[in-house]
Amino acid sequence: FDINVYPNPNNGSFQVKFFNNFSESFVITLTDVTGKVVYQKDLSARQFTDVTYDVNVPTLSNGLYTLSVKADNYTATKKINILK
């Protein structure tokens, strides 16, 4: 299970591409450097096409965030850099 995030760095708008799609549902969580959840979305695979999901969080401040995607018993994480 793996994900790709682009563009990165970004301005608070980015796409998450899922690889090895084997799940009916995903949970996307974005946390700041203190571990506070700043965005979370439960997804059904039917909500997006070609296993790509758009994230839009324009109100977040510049900084480094951790994106986690959970599916079944697997978790993939990436660092996200928001620069405006």
pLDDT tens per residue, range 25-62: 789 999 999 999 999 999 876 555 457 889 999 999 99
Q: What is the CA radius of gyration of the chain?
A: 12
Instruction: Report the length, in residues, of the chain.
Output: 84
Residue 65: CB atoms within 10 A of its CB come to: 19
How does the average pLDDT of the chain come out, rounded? 88
Per the listing, tokens 């994900």 go with 3
Amino acid identity for residue 74 in this structure: Y
**For the whole model, what pTM was predicted?**
0.87
